[in-house]
Amino acid sequence: MNAVSKKVCLLGDFGVGKTSLVRRFVHGLFDDRYLSTVGVKVSRKMVMVPQLADLVEMTMMLWDLAGSEEFDHMRASYLRGAAGAILVCDVARPATVDNLGAYLRDLTSVSPRARAVVAANKSDLLDQRQLLTPRIEAFATSHHLPLFFTSARQGTEVETLFRHLGRALLVEATPA
């Protein structure tokens, strides 16, 4: 069995639920307070990822950067060496959807080979979700990015999102 370690960065505006998604995935917990992230927090989670007839033991190093402006100058060093990224928006806040493109550009400029997925988070806020769904889908489709409607609060699609990214990271690593 192979073992690999991959750096995965969380990207998205303040308050979209980046820290909550990591916390849900790593610890199975949710917290209603803002889980303020000062600087960069790195969490580690081991996942078994299927590859052909085998299983790969993947350690995901989940990098979570505070969304505040002061940390903008850190973004390049934050993104360096990232194998993957999760672009997070809030299904109830249009601005967070509009900003996804800028995060993707940042990612591509620093780590052009990184695999990205989109997390449309807070999908438990159902009525707001309807409104922005076409915009989020249009973004994901136009950049060929897998899209998941997650809820860190309820746990919906969180596991699926991270596992999908895990598999994509292995595809990337395999020489053609």
Question: What is the contact surface with Mg ion in residues (CB under 5 A)?
Answer: 18-19, 37
Binding to ligand GDP by residue 34, rule CB under 6 A? Answer: yes
Q: Which one, 11 or 169, has the nearer CB to ligand GDP?
A: 11
Binding to ligand GDP by residue 40, rule CB under 6 A? Answer: no
Out of 1, 3, 32, 142, which residue is the one contacting ligand GDP (CB under 6 A)?
32
Binding to ligand GDP by residue 35, rule CB under 6 A? Answer: yes
CA angle 77, 78, 81 (to 5 degrees): 80
- Among positions 133-152, residues that touch ligand GDP (CB under 6 A) are 151-152
Find which of ligand GDP, Mg ion, none residue 15 binds, CB within 5 to 8 Å per kind: ligand GDP
Q: How far is the CB of 153 from ligand GDP (least distance, A)?
A: 4
Find which of ligand GDP, Mg ion, none residue 96 binds, CB within 5 to 8 Å per kind: none
Out of 71, 75, 94, 124, which residue is the one contacting ligand GDP (CB under 6 A)?
124
Are 102 and 67 in contact by the 8 Å Cβ rule? The answer is no
- Dihedral (CA of 75, 133, 18, 148) sign: negative
Binding site for ligand GDP (CB under 6 A): 12, 14-20, 32, 34-35, 37, 67, 121-122, 124-125, 151-153
